A and B are shown apart, each in its own frame.
Chain A
Amino acid sequence: MTSTRGMRWLLGAVFALVLAWIYIPLLVILINSFNTSLTFAWPPPGFTLDWWSKAIANEGVRDAVVTSLIVATAATMIALVLGTLVAFALSGSRFFGHNSISLLVVLPIALPGIVTGLALNTMFTSFLGGLTFTTLIVAHGTFCIVVVFNNASARLRRLGGDIVEASMDLGATRAFTFRHVVFPNMRPALIAGALLAFGLSFDEIIVTTFTAGPGIQTLPLWIFNNLFRPQQAPIVNVVAAALVVISVLPIYLAQRLSEDAARSAV
């Protein structure tokens, strides 16, 4: 298929426009966090670092950051254990129920967040005595499983069974093979999966709204609760700008660690 020169230019232009469209709103947020104007006049009348120091000193923001970090760390641990187990189970032979299990793992993020959130909310409030910090972590862990699973199974597929068989033909036990052959090969994929799970949990808001106990505020919940308070707008802008930068870090690291990460990001 030969594309004409004009066609190439046209496609290149579409690519550039889409890229600009993706980045402009994020740049606006970053620039706005240094805006001297209280009402965010655009373009900004001046440059200031005041809002950043005020945001860092803000107790509500700090508490929310700590909450988000704890939730994301705990959820990542859960996802790491469960996602890896499923990936190993599904990596070998195809068996009855194989497809259903992979569908079940994807479901918590493939179904609308509001469904996952409401279903868990109903379960927690009617059987487990209400919403707490634990229910929030459990909910996050559940929808993070898929990210670890995707990374681990992509790597296992690439690894193939030959390397394991070679190791065992050379006299290694299954445990030895796992420790010295399989695990070292899996490590980058598992770290990448964990980073992505962390990022997913850190940003989540819909399921969070439905499963967080009273008074618990993650960073996205803090932003949402302060979004409509005009006097908080400068701080919200700073937190938003910080979140853009912070949430991009894990994906950057994950991509450096594993080329599968980019593919299994969805």
Chain B
Amino acid sequence: MTTAAIGPIRRWQRYVHRHGGVRIAGLLALPMTWLMLLYVVPLVMLFITAFWTTDSFTGSLVRSFTLENFQRIFTDPAYVTVALRTLGVAVAVTVICLLLAVPVAFFMARIASVRWQPVMIALMLTPLWASYLVKVYAWRVMFSPEGGVLVSTFGTSPGFGWIAVVVVLTYLWLPYMILPVYVGMQNIPQSLLDASSDLGASSSRTFRSVLLPLVFPSIVAGSIFTFSLSLGDYITVQLVGGKAQMLGNVVYQSFSTDLPFAAAVASMTVVIMIGYLTAVRRTGALENL
């Protein structure tokens, strides 16, 4: 069959088949345009806005470059405290999630019988999809100092404050840590663990020197979510934090009156996250997402 004998559609298909680049470009055109225009451009605009200011008399934007907003964040003790507390909460939540997820994932992946594994993972992960707001609300009912479940049942409750914030954020984001750690642990061949104990390593030594390094990328992948989601939260703080404030609350409160300042505060969380993601890319953890 000569080239002239086949139709234009067939010829186009052959061309596309032989030139993989054209196919990929064609597939990517629509989604990349969407993400560029509706995500990357707004993000860049947000960063640019962070260097502008708001005229305190007229409330209008002053579009000239200044570091004023960032100076305010770094020098005003009130904001420094909020930033450090936010970072502290995000780190605490991530560490607690990790401490809970490792034993739970280990139990599900390597101790429980294979028959029960799908049931267990479903039980653990299904609540992840129950409404975020409802879960926070549920904890508001639990922690409430007036007639809350904890007060009524145990006679005492930590009430609304930092403890409640850390407990609720851990509750919300724990499945995001359990899932990748579970998958990571499941993927480790039993022969590696057997080899380690055959060579004389104790259980705890095998756990530390063989198992943990192998699931490390999964742990990092999970921590991206627990860290990032805690960093930007403001609703949990509003509902169970009492007088506590996090960076998210500052953004939420200031965005309608002082957009550049809100943008600067939001950018701080992005800078922290980008730093974290860049470090993480080197471990190959992003492939596990």
Contacts and interface: CB of A to CB of B under 8 A. Distances in A.
Interface of A: 1-4, 7-8, 11-12, 14-15, 18-19, 21-26, 28-29, 32, 39-43, 81-83, 85-86, 88-89, 92-93, 95, 99, 101-108, 110-116, 118-123, 126, 138, 142, 145, 150, 173-175, 196, 199, 202-206, 209-210, 220, 223-224, 227, 236, 240, 243-244, 247-248, 250-252, 255, 262-263, 265-266
Contacts of A95: 21, 24
Interface string B222-265: 10110011011111000100000000100110010001001100
B131 interface: yes
A243 B129 contact: no
B116 to A, nearest CB: 11
A113 to B, nearest CB: 5
Nearest to B122: A255
Contacts of B31: 82-83, 85-86, 89, 105, 145
Contacts of A114: 232-234, 248, 251-252, 266, 269
Most chain A beta carbons < 10 A, residue from B108, B171, B251 = B251
Given A15-B107, A114-B252, A251-B129, A240 B45 contact: no
B196 to A, nearest CB: 7
Nearest to A118: B266
B89 to A, nearest CB: 13
Contacts of A122: 42, 45-46, 49, 259, 263
A2 B235 CA distance: 44
Interface in B190-238: 193-194, 196-197, 203, 206-207, 210-211, 222, 224-225, 228-229, 231-235
Contact of B235 (A7, A24, A105, A205): A205
A28 B269 contact: no
B266 A25 contact: no
B142 A106 contact: no
Contacts of B142: 24-25, 28
B1 to A, nearest CB: 13
A88 to B, nearest CB: 5
Contact of B183 (A110, A220, A263): A263
Given A42-B147, A110-B277, 8 more contacts: A85-B28, A111-B232, A122-B263, A142-B35, A199-B129, A205-B132, A223-B134, A223-B137
A121 B38 CA distance: 11
B104 A42 contact: no
B50 to A, nearest CB: 10
B34 A142 contact: yes
A251 B175 CA distance: 14
Interface in B1-41: 10, 13, 16-17, 20-21, 23-24, 27-28, 30-32, 34-35, 38-41
A174 B179 contact: no
Contacts of B56: none
Interface of B: 10, 13, 16-17, 20-21, 23-24, 27-28, 30-32, 34-35, 38-43, 45-46, 49, 100, 103-104, 106-108, 110-111, 120-135, 137-139, 141-142, 147-149, 152-153, 171, 174-176, 179-180, 183, 193-194, 196-197, 203, 206-207, 210-211, 222, 224-225, 228-229, 231-235, 239, 248, 251-252, 255, 259, 262-263, 266-267, 269-270, 273, 277, 281, 286, 289
A247 B129 contact: yes
Contact of A265 (B17, B128, B211, B252): B128
B100 to A, nearest CB: 6
DSSP majority for the A interface?
A: helix
A209 B233 CA distance: 13
Contact of B273 (A2, A32, A86, A111): A111
A197 B189 CA distance: 33
A203 B281 CA distance: 30
A43 B148 CA distance: 10
A262 B35 contact: no
Contacts of A224: 133, 235
B178 to A, nearest CB: 8
Given A25-B171, A28-B141, A122-B259, A243 B134 contact: yes
Nearest to B267: A115
B38 A112 contact: no
Nearest to B105: A15
Contacts of B121: 262
